[in-house]
Amino acid sequence: MKSSEWHASAKTRWEDNADQWHSKSVDMWTEGSRKAVIPFFHKHTCDVQTVADLGCGDGYGSFLLYEKGYVVTGMDFSINMIEIARKQARENLSFVHGDLRSLPFQDGQFDAVMAINSVEWTENPLHTLNEIERVVSKDGYICIGILGPTAHPRENAYPRLHGEEVICNTMMPWELEKLAHDKGWKKISEDWIYKKMVKPSLADTLTSELKQALTFTTLFMFQK
């Protein structure tokens, strides 16, 4: 699949999924799989001002960042998602249509970036990380949430084993960590959003990589 075809297919998937995503978004961010994201982000970035939420979807996560006092710009490549998100736009909270392959922002524009389960939908993760790095200021923060190895959305990559084209890359949390290390990013913190049947107390004694294997999403905070 050519890069342009990957992009077009992924975009169509999320254009078609916008209303369904929006219907469950608040619950995900407040009670479900994303409830730990904003507290994790804020714990390490309470002294920053400007934040880009890359792959913001319907913008509810961006809104929660705004409520914490950040000046937030949400970006998504789904026009339908951005139209939903813009209904809650206000001073210090705005939304733009854009692409992780070529971010519509200036070099060093933001103090911090948040990208939750969005890098997976790009064909070339390293190029995406380079773009993220470009728009973050010197010593700025980069928070990335990446799907665990058995997270349900990973099924979007399975058809590759039948020789079919896919729109979800297979990068694992440990691979993201290695790429970040190779780029010279400092790992500030890591947290694990476990799959439903995992008891966190039973995972406490495991190594980081074993914890990652049990997650729906692994959260990383890096510093540029």
pLDDT tens by residue, 147-172 = 999 999 999 899 999 998 888 899 99
Residue 3 pLDDT level (bands cut at 50, 70, 90): low
Domain that holds residue 174: 3-223
CATH number at residue 19: 3.40.50.150
Q: Read off the pLDDT of residues 89-132 as tens digits, 9 standing for 90 and up.
A: 999 999 999 999 999 999 999 999 999 999 999 999 999 999 99
CB-side exposure of 47: number of CA atoms within 13 Å? 4
Q: Give me the pLDDT at residue 167, please.
A: 85
Q: Is the pLDDT of residue 14 over 80?
A: no
Mean pLDDT of 139-154: 96
Number of domains in the chain: 1
Q: Is the pLDDT of residue 20 over 90?
A: no
